[in-house]
Structure 1
Amino acid sequence: MKLQELAQRSGVSTASIKHYLRLGLLPPGAKKNATTSVYGALHLHRLALISWVRRELGLSLATVSALTTAIDDATIPNVYLMGICQQLALGAAPRAPEASHRGTEDASGAESTILDILDRMGLPDVSTSARAELARAVTDLRKAGYVVDEAVIELHLRALLEIARGNTTPISDDLSRDEICLEVIRGVTLHNRMLLAASALAHASLSGLARVSSAPATAG
């Protein structure tokens, strides 16, 4: 397809597409002649990814560039690429795959506990980035004075595992790497929004229930 059709099908203006091409966020099209290039499905996939993360997450072009560089790096396996996408969805800057194996010193104890829980639950440790983010969250909660022991962590994981079974499908390697990234980032972001809202509702409801239960009875 030509540039105009690419713009129509992607919903991205020709000016933006040209800008992405200049920045290297979008690979160049195949030359049809001296003045015309043609584009394919991979360009549509890349534009869908860029559009979503820019609109929904407000990512800077520099961060998008780091992501597309990782996508285009064939030496990064899909499982590590998915870890980078999870970090973006969790609000962290993308890091090199090998860096995702290193938890912070403070969170190392929590990571060890999480690994034990995963082993007990029969779950593989396939997302080191997600594990590290959970360990940091647990560590921050503990520093703030909350009791987050092994039983509490396992309770969360078991509950969320049941949710995950119902709302996720395996991401096939048949998808393009841009499609894989969009599936991961969009899925984590949207499900996290629902979980945060549900958590806020549950906490507010329990707080309100406690107030109603403790309120003095009024004379009839």
Structure 2
Amino acid sequence: MRLHRWLVVVLLLALIVTCDSPDPGRYPVHRDIVATTFWVGEVFDPDAPDGSQVLSAYDSSWLENYGGCDGIIVDGTCQTEPRRPDNDYFPTAMTPRENPFYLDLPYDDVNDPRGFADRDRIVPWAGEPRYRAYSGDRSVSYLKNRWVRITRGNRTCYGQIQDAGPGEYYDHEYVFGTARPANRRYNNAGMDVSPALNGCLGFTELNGQRDLVDWQFVDDDEVPPGPWTRIVTTRQVTQP
């Protein structure tokens, strides 16, 4: 009888804890995703339509609006650099005008015809008032500036979406669902992260294709203070 009562108490406590815990299902957690590194001003393939980070899917003047090369200039080329916690992982040779903690995901809700047509149906937060008011308006992206929590090992950092990719632009089953990334380039990468996030997460390489992360969308009120909130990007879509 005592054992039976003890089991009942344990089950009740477990139920209470479960009810009081945040709903983990609002946004799926994507686990063991290859994350590569990109940076504002990078040109890794001048012959490819998506081979330059001088502009982004959402900002045709990204380099100018950000404030310049997010790194160091070497022989006239914008290169990445190691980032340090004592500088909040900010660049050493320039002062950014926008959040240096940025990333991309493979769903373009402005330029991709399917992404734009389907975003009101597919994007989980499309029904929120601040987005619903811009249904059918390409001057506002539902993805740009959204926050993402990224974890690697025992490190957790936060960043804002500022571009689309890598390799795919309508991979909604991965971005908003539970599928693996459809991209087969760059070691099947499912995300690019900025140098600040590279340093914050302790990546093994400055510009590699082997680091794995877990990531999840988060709402604004779930983002804790940190170096990623020193500058918060609010600029919306900038087209030619």
Range into which the TM-score falls when normalised by the shorter chain: under 0.3
Structure number having the greater strand percentage: 2
- The higher-RCO structure (CA 8 Å, 6+ apart) is 2
Structure number having the greater helix percentage: 1
TM-score (structure 1 length as normaliser): 0.22
Question: Which structure has the larger Rg over C-alpha atoms?
Answer: 1
TM-score (structure 2 length as normaliser): 0.21
